[in-house]
Amino acid sequence: MNTDYEYAQMLQLMREQGKKDNPETIKLGTMLDPYSVKIDDLILNKEDLWYDYSLRPKNLEAGDKVAVQRLDSGMYLIFAKVVRAE
């Protein structure tokens, strides 16, 4: 006889296995300053970030919108400065 716990374990295993083939989605972030970005309720600091070479922090300022991708290492890559279509 299976218990709810066993079903929950099976469901968790299925989710983990499914993540392998589904990469993280690109997130839209707002720069708080050149070394920190806010994505929804998550605030990432200098220690959490990688930057595209052309977007080094000196080229970013508070309020800039950026495209951010989570890396396998748990760090995040800011790879584009973006603007809304007019």
Instruction: Give the list of residues 6+ apart from residue 22 with CB closer than 8 angstroms, or none.
Output: none
Instruction: Give all strands of the β-sheet with 36-39 in edge-to-edge order.
Output: 42-44, 36-39, 27-33, 65-70, 76-82, 49-51
pLDDT tens-digit profile of 12-41? 888 777 766 666 789 999 999 999 999 999
Task: Fold for 23-82, please state it.
Answer: OB fold (Dihydrolipoamide Acetyltransferase, E2P) (2.40.50)
Give 46 or 21, the one with higher predicted confidence.
Answer: 46
Residue 40 region, left (φ>0) first, then alpha (ψ -120 to 50), else beta?
A: left
The answer to whether residues 51 and 81 touch, using CB atoms and an 8 Å cutoff, is: no
pLDDT tens-digit profile of 63-75? 999 999 998 888 9
Where are the domains positioned within the chain? 23-82
- Entry pTM: 0.72
What's the distance, CA 81 to chain centroid?
15
